[in-house]
Amino acid sequence: MADFPGLILTRAGRQILTRALIGQPLTFTRAAVGTGQVPADAEGLTALVDERRSLAIAKMDTPGDGTASVEVILTNAGVEQGFFVREIGLFARDPATDEDRLYAYANAGDRSDFLPAASGATMVEQIIRLITVIDQAETVTAEISDSLVLATQADLDALRDQTAETLDTLRQAALGRVSLDGPGTVMPGARHRYTITDYHSLAVYEASASLGTLTRDGATLTLDVPADAAPGALDLTVTRDGAAQTVTLAVGETSIAQPTMATPAEGASDVGAAPLLATTPFGAYPANADTHASTDWQVATDPGFADLVWESLADTEALTSVSVPAGALDTATTYHVRARHHGAALGASPWSPTITFGTADSFVPKREVAKLTGSNVYMDGRFGTSVAINRTGTVLVMGAPYTNSPRTDAGSYYIFERGSDGAWAEVLTNSPGGTTSYIYLGRTVAISGAGDLVLAGAPRTGDRFGNSNIGNVYVSQRRGDGSWWQYLVTPGIEIKQFFFGSSLAVSGDGTLVAVGAPGARDQGRVYLYTTPPDAKLEEMDILHAPGVPVDGHFGQSLAIDQDAETLLVGAPGEENGGAVHVFERRAAWTPTATLVLQDGASSFGAQVAVDGSGTYAVISSASATYVFERSSPNQSDWVQVTKVTDPDGNDVRGVLSLSADAQVAVIANSIFERTGSSSWRKVADLALGGEISEFGDSALSADGKTVAVSNVRYDGFTGAVHIFE
């Protein structure tokens, strides 16, 4: 028998073994011998150099040590011309192509043996055992005598037999090379990881690098490249059981690292209307070689980014995170997103790998996540009679105007905050002091976009002379250290029946406060205040509308846009069914439009809401709700575009809230979604629980993601507020 040095895995064999390690079957098909000389690249062979004899597999065994034992019979039967047996190979089926490929190979060189031609006097019959690596492949098969035998390592372990004295064993030698998976280009100042894909726990490994530091943990190699590494070559050498493999890597130029998308997750579904996009932190090769100057963001409906729906290029503010503007994305649609970083000196990184996500069927909050109740709310206190929520849905204020604390119907208001864990907690409760009764503190509430300025109206407050219903407003402001301080705001001239505080509004940016006094001078007034930092509100103006009749209730409802440029004032008691007066901030606050109806409805202007840009207004009457649109920003032309109805065509009305992008509206406890400039559809009714319920108030966060709806009848009219997302 030729003196073979031991089998080595070919590169084709390593590929087949790698596939076997991820669950594909490893099928040995045959062996072969030949007379070929020692090749220059044995591992690159896919067949013997000079095959002379194909050998059928007689038996296969897997003893459970990460190897397979394959027995073949070498005979000269049918050999017409003798030859030197110099090479031997074991073949396996490639599951990718279904073709036989050379799995393992050995060559005896000048230690070959001669196999004579068959004759009556000289007959050769030799059993050869080939032992080769199969690592942890679970399913190993062999084609034996033209029959396919399927076996796992555990199954075949029981089939080991005693072999004849004529048995020769050809064992697996140390792997001639190690198969590595990792980047071919490395960067200065960076850490790169490589995986030994044909790793075996019983083998002995050594690893080194010509540059930098290389460490090994099992099958994982970690290479740290020095920050001052010059572009060029780096040799990474791994030795397995004495056999070495050297891989030459390229050291790249100084550059900006390619980011990856951290948010949203790949394949995310049910994504909302304004998702947050975020990348991994900025990086440069070598580290600290550059600073982050800007970021490009793109969202498209195709993976090639030809059909862009939104992009922000050279964005110097949103460096690692940005929210897609509401209105840019459609419901039930698949989108692709990518980003790239720009350095101040080195230019742009490659685009990040593309992330794909899908949007929700509807961009409205309708999943209940919490139910809140106030502390020390007396029975019949009606917690939730009024509700307001900040821009991001993280701070809530609720009024309980009928709470007997400390006196009958004195009222109170409560501030809740949502923690980072999503849980809501009561952080402040405020009630009037003294012997005050029947002032109904909390009958109205309002909150700034940031959630650090809270207003609560007590419109029936009187004075010590017996004048009733003058009204005042309780203010809670958060200081820079997070603590709250309280004070009162009263009308400059205190006259009975003012009902100062009957309506409240704060601009989205928190710079303007409006307080309605619909009984002032029998016509109504609106008081405007500025909000100096860490100081009390300062009165800046008092608005009225010429021609408003007695009991016109100017100031019964209020709404301000995000930047304190547009103010809507409802006057539901005006002649011809009520009106809404529009004021614009120019050199002074100026009346620019009066919105009225022609359909005979009454109490138009009882409720008003406006979007963040001051373009859309939603207004209710006693029986219906209407949408008005301004022709363009800073213009005075408003037109009625629709009357909102439910799916059955019925009119709807009630307390109003509108998202900053005018995509979502809450009318009472129903959610509507805008589907066009003049089209709205009802999406959901928000349930108030299985107990006896009575709707109190509702509020929608400016980002359109959170709704608070109250049930004032909960627990004997104590009241509760339900939170939906």
pLDDT tens-digit readout, 446-474: 999 999 999 999 999 987 777 889 999 99
So what's the pLDDT on residue 174? 34
Is the pLDDT at 122 greater than 80, yes or no?
no
Q: Which of 512, 466, 461, 511 is nearest to 491 (CA)?
A: 461
Instruction: Please write the tens of the pLDDT for every residue from 621-649.
Output: 999 999 999 987 666 789 999 999 888 88
Q: Which of 426, 424, 417 is nearest to 369 (CA)?
A: 424
Question: C-alpha dihedral over 406, 408, 413, 414, to 10 degrees?
Answer: 60
For CA atoms 600, 601, 602, 604, give the dihedral sign: negative
Level-2 CATH architecture, domain 257-359: Sandwich (2.60)
Question: Where does residue 20 fall: left (phi above 0), alpha (psi -120 to 50 degrees), or beta otherwise?
Answer: alpha
Summarize the confidence of residues 34-50 as an average pLDDT: 92
Percent of the chain with pLDDT over 90: 50
So what's the pLDDT on residue 203? 80
Q: Which of 651, 716, 21, 718 is nearest to 402 (CA)?
A: 718
Summarize the confidence of residues 131-137 as an average pLDDT: 66
- Residue partners of 119: CB distance under 8 A and separation at least 6: none
Is the pLDDT at 36 greater than 90, yes or no?
yes
Give the span between the Cα atoms of 257 and 292, in whole angstroms.
11
Q: Which of 57, 66, 125, 135 is nearest to 89 (CA)?
A: 57
So what's the pLDDT on residue 255? 83
| Residue, of 183 and 704, whose pLDDT is higher | 704
551, two tokens:
């009991």
Mean per-residue pLDDT over the chain, rounded: 86
Strand partners, 630: 638
Domain 180-251 identical in fold to domain 257-359: yes
| Count helices and strands in the chain by DSSP H and E runs | 3, 59
235, two tokens:
């040799």
Is the pLDDT at 177 greater than 60, yes or no?
no
Q: Which of 280, 265, 253 is nearest to 352 (CA)?
A: 280
- Residue partners of 633: CB distance under 8 A and separation at least 6: 613, 614, 615
Summarize the confidence of residues 476-483 as an average pLDDT: 91
Q: Are 148 and 141 within 8 A, CB to CB?
A: yes
Q: Are 660 and 645 within 8 A, CB to CB?
A: no
- Residue partners of 135: CB distance under 8 A and separation at least 6: 17, 20, 21, 66, 198, 199, 200
Per-residue pLDDT band for 273 (boundaries 50, 70, 90) equals confident
Is the pLDDT at 510 greater than 60, yes or no?
yes
Segment (H or E) for 156: helix 153-157
Strand partners, 695: 711
- Residue partners of 273: CB distance under 8 A and separation at least 6: 326, 327, 329, 359, 363, 661, 663, 704
Q: Are 694 and 656 within 8 A, CB to CB?
A: no
So what's the pLDDT on residue 215? 96
Cis peptide leading into residue 264 (ω within 30°): yes
Summarize the confidence of residues 158-172 as an average pLDDT: 34
Other residues' Cβ atoms within 10 Å of the Cβ of residue 364:
26
Q: Are 707 and 700 within 8 A, CB to CB?
A: yes
Per-residue pLDDT band for 159 (boundaries 50, 70, 90) equals very low
| Residue, of 425 and 128, whose pLDDT is higher | 425
Segment (H or E) for 714: helix 714-717
**Three-point CA angle 610, 527, 569, nearest 5°:** 30
So what's the pLDDT on residue 148? 28
So what's the pLDDT on residue 156? 31
Where b means 16+ CB within 10 Å and e means fewer, 91-126 reads: bbbbeeeeebbbbbbbbbeeebbebeebeeeeebeb
Q: What are phi and psi of 117, to 5 degrees?
A: -65, 155
| Residue, of 171 and 451, whose pLDDT is higher | 451
So what's the pLDDT on residue 190? 84
Residues in the chain: 725
So what's the pLDDT on residue 598? 84
Q: Which range, of 310-324, 381-395, 478-492, 683-697, averages the lowest pLDDT?
A: 683-697
Question: C-alpha dihedral over 516, 517, 522, 524, to 10 degrees?
Answer: -20
Instruction: Look at the domain 368-724 and name its fold.
Output: Methylamine Dehydrogenase; Chain H (2.130.10)
pTM higher than 0.75 for the full model?
A: no
So what's the pLDDT on residue 278? 96
| Residue, of 117 and 626, whose pLDDT is higher | 626
Summarize the confidence of residues 242-249 as an average pLDDT: 81
The domain ranges of the chain are: 8-142, 180-251, 257-359, 368-724
Is the pLDDT at 652 greater than 50, yes or no?
yes
483, two tokens:
């603590």
Q: What are phi and psi of 109, to 5 degrees?
A: 60, -130
**One-letter amino acid identity for 607?**
Q
So what's the pLDDT on residue 52? 92
| Residue, of 598 and 51, whose pLDDT is higher | 51
Is the pLDDT at 719 greater than 70, yes or no?
yes
Give the span between the Cα atoms of 333 and 309, in whole angstroms.
12
Per-residue pLDDT band for 62 (boundaries 50, 70, 90) equals confident
Q: Are 91 and 28 within 8 A, CB to CB?
A: yes
Is the pLDDT at 407 greater than 80, yes or no?
no
- Domain 180-251: assigned CATH number: 2.60.40.10
Q: Are 503 and 516 within 8 A, CB to CB?
A: yes
